[in-house]
Amino acid sequence: MTPQQYEQVFDALDSFEIELPSWGFANTGTRFGKFIQAAAATTIEEKLSDASQVHAVTGCSPSVAVHVLWDFPNGLAQAPQVKQLARRYGVRIGSINPNVFQDQIYKFGSLGNPDAEIRQAALEHLIESVHISQATASRDISLWFADGSNYPGTQNIRKRRQWFLEGLSQLHQHLGENQRLLLEYKPFEPAFYHTDIADWGMALLLARHAGPQAKVLVDLGHHYPSQNIEQVVAWLLAEGMLGGFHFNDRRYADDDLTLGSIDPYQLFRIFHEICTWEWETGERADIAYMIDQSHNLKGKIEAMIQSVVRAQELYVKALLVDHEKLAKHQQSCELVDAEECLQRAFYRDVSPILEEWRRSRRLPLDPLQAFRQSGYLERVSRERAERNRDAVTSYA
């Protein structure tokens, strides 16, 4: 690499940020049960403390996504305290995630519920989430809805669509000048016959109807097996509607595995579409990169470090694609040469580049090893063990 290429990659790494989810540091489980970890975070302060450890060794995770019901049990009144805690631990509050799927009233949906009073209750919670976002200096409100139905004929699909159009349009009116709604989609689960926002096209239409500050959020696990996610990304980029990602990996469906553990080539291809768009347009894509994983068996903090490091590696590989050469091969339909050009970048060993960037930024050369040597995990395991043992009893 030339000195100019090194400088370009270093500049890109300096601005590459991956948001961590607060819930990824807490005890999580499956629909069958939970496996409790002694070091799991039990409070929002502990979650922010754990997130600060990831940022300290990776240098690219300065923000933490929070979940309103789990991290703000007292709602908007708690926002100043949480913002202050984040500052204390050297991070900031990232995307705000409302919860309109947990309470019993949402059994038949939230904004898509046939009951107008329940739709209004959901809207009020979403509006409060916007206010929490404003109070914590957060830009993005990430919206995921479990709404749908399990059996044919049990709900009017078109009416539910209309209720979503109305609710999201009303919510958009409460946004501040620099705020965004990021609308997520999912083809199934927990609804198994129809989901009200089942794919990127539905999310795109709803976001456009909501208003100019609404974009689409792509969760890598929220697609049917073998779906071409990078094509979805390319279309959303072309439409100016790609707002963010929830990064994870999967073997079957929404498995929420650590990033790159199953198919690292997929994330490389996604980054490649973004880097190519930036090369062609000369613009920087305004995309929020967020992790959304469930660490049931892996250690919470170590799994998060793994995912952040994998993302950095794959992002650098995508940066090293020779776009000019690839474009010529594509234009001439030189299939083998085009594929070789792409795969050459994917198979390149970028560890020397990342080590040099870390050294120049005074970061640990091996983030995972640095965390293991810090003694933090052993300390918090001792401090939190009793509370987590109590969690086993309460869950049982």
Q: 326-343, pLDDT tens digit by residue? A: 999 999 999 999 999 999
Which domains can be identified in the chain, with CATH numbers? 16-389 (3.20.20.150)
Burial group, residue 131, by CB count within 10 angstroms (0-12, 13-18, 19+): middle
**What is the C-alpha separation between 37 and 302, in angstroms, rounded?**
13
Amino acid (1-letter code) at residue 262: I
* Helix boundaries (H) for 195-322: 200-210, 229-238, 264-281, 300-319
pLDDT tens per residue across span 23-57: 999 998 776 778 899 999 999 999 999 999 999 99
Give the pLDDT confidence score for residue 192 in this predicted structure: 96
Mean of the per-residue pLDDT values of the chain: 95
Nearest residue to 238 via CA among 216, 261, 259, 265: 216
CA distance readout (Å), 226 to 128, 192, 251, 269: 38, 19, 10, 14
Query: How far is Cα of residue 262 from the mean position of the Cα atoms in its chain?
Result: 17
pLDDT tens per residue across span 215-237: 999 999 999 999 999 999 999 99
Greater model confidence, 394 or 8: 8
Q: Which letter does DSSP use for residue 262 in this model? A: S
In this prediction, residues 147-155 reach a mean pLDDT of 98
Q: Give yes or no for residue 4 having a pLDDT over 90.
A: no
In this prediction, residues 278-287 reach a mean pLDDT of 96
In this prediction, residues 99-103 reach a mean pLDDT of 95
Residues 6+ apart with CB under 8 A from 108: 114, 115, 118, 155
Q: Give yes or no for residue 356 having a pLDDT over 80.
A: yes
Give the pLDDT confidence score for residue 35 in this predicted structure: 84
Burial group, residue 165, by CB count within 10 angstroms (0-12, 13-18, 19+): middle
Q: Are 258 and 249 in contact (CB under 8 A)?
A: yes
**What is the C-alpha separation between 372 and 302, in angstroms, rounded?**
8
Q: 3: pLDDT confidence band, cut at 50, 70 and 90?
A: confident
In this prediction, residues 368-394 reach a mean pLDDT of 89
Q: What count of other Cβ atoms lies within 10 Å of the Cβ of residue 110?
A: 26
In this prediction, residues 113-121 reach a mean pLDDT of 98
Asked which of 27-36, 191-200, 256-265 is least confident by mean pLDDT, the reply is 27-36
Burial group, residue 101, by CB count within 10 angstroms (0-12, 13-18, 19+): middle
Cα angle for residues 274, 279, 281 (degrees, 5° grid): 95
Partners of 65 in the β-ladder: 21
In this prediction, residues 127-133 reach a mean pLDDT of 98
Q: Give yes or no for residue 395 having a pLDDT over 90.
A: no
Q: How far apart are the first and last CA of the chain?
A: 57
**What is the C-alpha separation between 239 and 57, in angstroms, rounded?**
36
Q: What percent of the chain has pLDDT over 90?
A: 91
Give the pLDDT confidence score for residue 295 in this predicted structure: 83
Q: Which letter does DSSP use for residue 223 in this model? A: S
Give the pLDDT confidence score for residue 396 in this predicted structure: 38
**What is the C-alpha separation between 118 and 69, in angstroms, rounded?**
17
Greater model confidence, 312 or 387: 312
**What is the C-alpha separation between 356 and 174, in angstroms, rounded?**
45
pLDDT tens per residue across span 65-92: 999 999 999 999 999 999 999 999 999 9
Give the pLDDT confidence score for residue 317 in this predicted structure: 98
Q: How many CA atoms lie within 13 A of 21 on its CB side?
A: 26
**What is the C-alpha separation between 157 and 195, in angstroms, rounded?**
9
Q: 392: pLDDT confidence band, cut at 50, 70 and 90?
A: low
Q: Give yes or no for residue 123 having a pLDDT over 50.
A: yes
Q: Give yes or no for residue 190 having a pLDDT over 70.
A: yes
Q: Are 188 and 195 in contact (CB under 8 A)?
A: yes
Q: Are 91 and 82 in contact (CB under 8 A)?
A: no
Burial group, residue 334, by CB count within 10 angstroms (0-12, 13-18, 19+): middle
Q: Are 118 and 107 in contact (CB under 8 A)?
A: no
Give the pLDDT confidence score for residue 186 in this predicted structure: 98
* Helix boundaries (H) for 322-366: 323-331, 335-346, 351-360
Give the pLDDT confidence score for residue 65 in this predicted structure: 98
